Structure 1
Amino acid sequence: MAFPCVGAKSALARGGLVIHRASDLTSAWDDLQIYAALMAFVARYRTDPAPFQSLSIVFEGPGTLDEAAFETALWQRAQSLSDKISGWARRRIHGPASIRSIRSSP
């Protein structure tokens, strides 16, 4: 297995590499599962903040992307996750309970 990052190679050697499989880099289909994997990874780290821990999301496809298309798809995936997380955070912060507290204010 080749690694562009020495930290990821060390994480693998120390049992700290978590690999999550997703279907298509160009699709938002797996975003919820990727988010869950990310949150599980963060929770694991908070429980045991040992060095050399890494999460790798491995996409099954598409295998035909050139470098520019890959970078575009990767950033689209990151933006999609960020948008979803921001939306979830807004709903948690400004959900029904906060609306009720605003309405009950004088």
Structure 2
Amino acid sequence: MPTLLDRLTPVALLVASNIFMTFAWYGHLKFKSAPLIGVIVISWGIAFFEYCLAVPANRLGSALYSAPQLKGMQEVITLLVFAVFSTSYLGQALKWNHWAGFALIAVAAWLIFLE
């Protein structure tokens, strides 16, 4: 019988990995004058840490969740991390239509968990 820790460890690792990946993909938007090649190299370096967390998250998570469930979970986590990042780091508030679109994705992820 899986424990709460068994169920939450993959989620926590996915949250941490998504924080790194969000910075790798979008953090450079605050530095638009930085040379693109430098941004790419720095993003690769940040993405390395994302992979160091995402791979174990999916490996451990596969003992309890199906691959589609892990992907659905990851999408919702990505959106939540991005919402915080967009407003707090980039200063770009999300509008009602962004939230509505995110909600539809969350509903899709919920459907994946129905058995």
Tell me the TM-score normalized by structure 2: 0.36
Structure that is richer in helix per residue: 2
Going by fraction, where is strand more abundant, 1 or 2? 1
For normalisation by structure 1, the TM-score amounts to 0.39
